[in-house]
Amino acid sequence: MKPLLIAALALVAAPAVANDTMSQLGTGGLVFVTSQDVSMDSEDLSVSPDEVRVVYAFTNHSKDDQHTLVAFPLPDITGDGDFMVNIPTEDPENLFGFTTTFDGKPAKSTLHQYAFAVGIDQTELLGSLGVPLTPFGEDTISALNALSDDDKANLMHLGMVIPMVYDSGNGEETDYTPIWTLRSTYSWEADFKAGETVEVVHSYKPSVGGTVATIFLAPPYDATDEDRPKAYRDKYCTDDDFIKTVKKSLRDPGDLYSAPYVETWISYIWSTGANWSGPIGKFHLTIDKGRPENLVSFCWDGKVKKTGPTTFEMEAKDWYPPYNHELEILILNHQNADANAG
């Protein structure tokens, strides 16, 4: 894929920060049960740290109405003793603030949620114990801690929880931490009238990962260390100009972690939903980096136009989503911009 770099040039020094990491969850668009009679005439995708919004236009080319199952699969969420994944909302019924309209009317969707551990569906077991399916959060931890010793032992035997022993000044205590995987999908039925075009709009809050430093400048320490410069080039198309811009901003030229930026990562999974007839007639992509002082890098095979202080737009005709590379966006947030924002 052809690399592309977009970089802002407003750079000033700022204090170095620690190297902590928050992982992101990749989300994507709607998935339609395969239909050779319904084409996607256009897709207008907008991605920012605050919102992903997609506007589709579909046409049913057949002489008959098409009744289609539509789904929006959420990424799997797996619990961990050191759970560091960005969850956009605290609503267990709508973790990503997901909304959809079909031909201007809200789509009435059904949420399907399942809990898996070592490949086995344990949804019914958790329900019988009164434990939420979400493998994180105070409600789940409290429900697990309130179980009997026998139930806790059984959940450990099933590979669903791990004991976390600690001492907060009151003697040794144990919390039981969920490590199962939550799988969630929204689904609804859609009617495409014969010969008609309908607009489908959906939006949600992305899971945004990142670090509190810029970590991709330093080469590997040894053969066992991750080659982050190469990994970022492959994933985000960070080219030489981008690297030079970031290095120029280093507060201490000898410290490759001293750039005045923190990283933000956004993943959009666009390779899973190509179940319509033919390519996307017109594809339009807008990426918003948030603030003019920020830098952004991503891969795109084609022309990119800067259309505003923070926005970049791309277009393609008769376009198929690439199957070898999802949309991966790296935003470097200028620390002074964060401080000035209050």
CA 35 – CA 190 distance, rounded (Å)? 12
Higher pLDDT pick, 77 / 194: 194
* Res 250: pLDDT: 94
Q: Is the pLDDT of residue 18 over 80?
A: no
Q: How far is CA 251 from the centre of its chain?
A: 31
Task: Enumerate the domain spans of the chain.
Answer: 3-65+197-340, 136-178
Compute the distance between CA of residue 239 and CA of residue 138 in angstroms, rounded to an integer. 43
Q: For 246-272, what is the mean pLDDT?
A: 89
Q: Is the pLDDT of residue 277 over 80?
A: no
Which residue has better confidence, 197 or 80? 197
Q: Are 122 and 163 in contact (CB under 8 A)?
A: no
Least confident of 10-24, 119-133, 136-150, 215-229: 10-24
The pTM of this model reads 0.76
Region 45-62: mean pLDDT is 91
User: Per the structure block, which two tokens stand in for 36?
Assistant: 């050779």
**pLDDT, tens digit, for every residue of 155-191?**
999 999 999 887 777 778 888 899 999 888 888 888 8
